[in-house]
Amino acid sequence: MTAIEQLLDVERFEPPEEFRAQALAGDSSLHRDADADYESWWERQAAELDWFDPWSQVLDRSDPPFAKWSRDPRERDGAPRPLLAAPARSSTPG
């Protein structure tokens, strides 16, 4: 068996220590909270963004095995539309 074939059986890869040292979320409680109730956890994360319309449902599981996050039937394409804070661009130079 080649080295690449052996990797097919690996389910988790530990990140290098240098990578872990730069992580924005070093507190393991963040992972525990997400594991305990991932829908609520993602809803809290999404609430940190500004949205054009609030979502009506955090996770739509009406079409198994497919699921859609932040589903709102009022949106034509079904995709959530976050309104991110970004500087306005001027149409005139400089």
On whether residue 2 sits in a domain, the answer given is: no
Structure token pair of residue 92: 């005139």
On whether residue 31 sits in a domain, the answer given is: yes
Q: Residues near 63 by Cβ (< 8 Å), separated by ≥ 6?
A: none
Number of domains the chain is built from: 1
On whether residue 20 sits in a domain, the answer given is: no
DSSP percent split of the chain into helix, strand, coil, nearest 5 = 30, 20, 50
Q: pLDDT tens per residue, the chain (94 residues)?
A: 788 888 788 777 788 999 888 887 777 788 889 899 988 988 888 888 777 777 778 888 888 888 887 666 455 455 555 544 444 444 444 4
Q: Which domain holds residue 69?
A: 27-85
On whether residue 11 sits in a domain, the answer given is: no
On whether residue 19 sits in a domain, the answer given is: no
On whether residue 42 sits in a domain, the answer given is: yes
DSSP codes, 50-84 = EESS--SEEEEEEETTEEEEEE-TTSSSS---EE-
On whether residue 78 sits in a domain, the answer given is: yes
pLDDT at 77: 53
On whether residue 69 sits in a domain, the answer given is: yes
